[in-house]
Amino acid sequence: MNILLLGSGGREHALAMAISKSPLLTRLYVAPGNPGIAALAEIAPVSAADEAGVVAFCRAAGVGLVVVGQEVPLVAGLVDACEAAGIKAFGPSRAAARLEGSKGFTKELCARFSIPTAAFARFEDAASANAYVRRQGAPIVVKADGLAAGKGVIVAETVEAAEAAIAAMFEGAFGSAGASVVVEAFLEGEEASFFALCDGTRAMPFASAQDHKRVGEGETGQNTGGMGAYSPAPVIDDAMSARVMREIVEPTLRGMAELGAPFRGVLFAGLMIGADGPKLIEFNVRFGDPETQVMLPRLEDDLLALLLACAEGRLPAAPPRLSDKAALTVVVAAKGYPDAPRKGGAIRGLDAVAASPGALVTQAGTRLDGEKLLADGGRVLNVTGLGATVAEARGRAYAALEKLDYADGFWRRDIGWRALERG
Ligand code: AMP
Ligand code: GLY
């Protein structure tokens, strides 16, 4: 089968590596891809933003399955466009992608189907949002309803900070994403990410992970797309996984089917695990970046067969097999990330990094200039270690990174500290 993979990050490089191993694969196409993915796939001259272009390419190239990496084309309805043309796609329809595209939609689904989440209210104007914040007090969390590239959430320590966030959102700081605002209670506990594969009616657990969102060591500095991650998340043991399926994932699948928007694809639940169990912070409707880089190396089954089963509404009865090994990935970013990453820095030594024992390299913001590999974005590449424990995986990732020659780059040296502290 021919596959078209859409995206260009470390997540898509990890997806390309796993799909490449499938006996079902004939040709792998990618758009736009990156130099790392290009070593495994043929670059397709299409853009995920151009639905008609994707459909035309798939017809011409005989693509049997489109795999959509990022949320923006899913929320815009790319899967609907493919399916209307008779082309299978992995990912939710536009209606089902509201689980990521509208925080208010998800909160209302939680309320209606008794899914545990923070208490909330939704507002269309600043005055009533401010009045609610003053009644509730701080800390409190203010969220732009729509997609805001990971920036639309403000955890406010004071009522004044919450009011400032509300003002900024209604003044258009996040464009139309902030036309509606969700205000919710601050949750205490340990954060973890949980991924389930879904075929519209059934869901099965895939894997768990934890990431580090802040740019600086010790969880300091600005929020980023994630500076590193590891899988599995120690806080999600088998009993907790069963509970998350029963209390959060399965009611969501039933609710979406009842609303006429059955969910197909991967459901990524951001959770707060507190004293009284798991609560939903948010859903994403695609694989995580960098979580994918630590989950897929642990997968022992054929990823492509699983993606196809989700798209065709026929997930197998038994959950996929993941190894007991741990994986830990370190995001290498360009100095200045996230505000003003320095572009164009030379990257050398990647072959030695990848040859280091138990290490894998995925590329993200890179480009080739002749033979030279250069940085071309904030999140440049990921180095993943695999080992019997998180500690061993971490040792392998950092040992491999010693071979990297990229003067303009930086990375956190404390990825996985929370898992290591547990012992
Ligand atoms: P999100 O963009 O929804 O992932 O939110 C970004 C981060 O804000 C999350 O990873 C949490 O650390 C934090 N956060 C969001 N909602 C809450 C909440 N209700 N209570 C505590 N922290 C939250
Ligand atoms: N690492 C978080 C995300 O992919 O949204």
pLDDT in tens, 239-290: 999 999 999 999 999 999 999 999 999 999 999 999 999 999 999 999 999 9
Instruction: Tell whether pTM > 0.85.
Output: yes
**Ligand 2 midpoint to CA 248 (Å):** 19
Which residues have CB under 6 Å of ligand 1? 118, 141, 150, 153, 155, 184, 186-187, 191, 213, 270, 281-282
pLDDT in tens, 314-341: 998 899 999 999 999 999 999 999 999 9
Task: Pick the atom of ligand 2 nearest to 284's CA.
Answer: 5
Pocket perturbation via mutation, ligand 2, pick of 191, 268, 285, 294 by most ligand atoms within 8 A of CB: 268
pLDDT in tens, 160-171: 988 988 988 888
User: Does residue 87 surpass a pLDDT of 70?
Assistant: yes
- The closest residue, in CA terms, to atom 2 on ligand 2 is 288
Task: Pick the atom of ligand 2 nearest to 288's CA.
Answer: 4
Supply φ then ψ for residue 209, to 5 degrees. -155, 165
- The closest residue, in CA terms, to atom 3 on ligand 1 is 282
Per-residue pLDDT, 147:
81
Task: Pick the atom of ligand 2 nearest to 213's CA.
Answer: 1
**Ligand 2 midpoint to CA 394 (Å):** 20
| pLDDT, mean over the chain | 95
Q: How many CB atoms lie within 10 A of CB 220?
A: 8
**CA-based torsion, 391, 392, 395, 397: positive or negative:** negative
pLDDT in tens, 327-382: 999 999 999 999 999 999 999 999 999 999 999 999 999 999 999 999 999 999 99
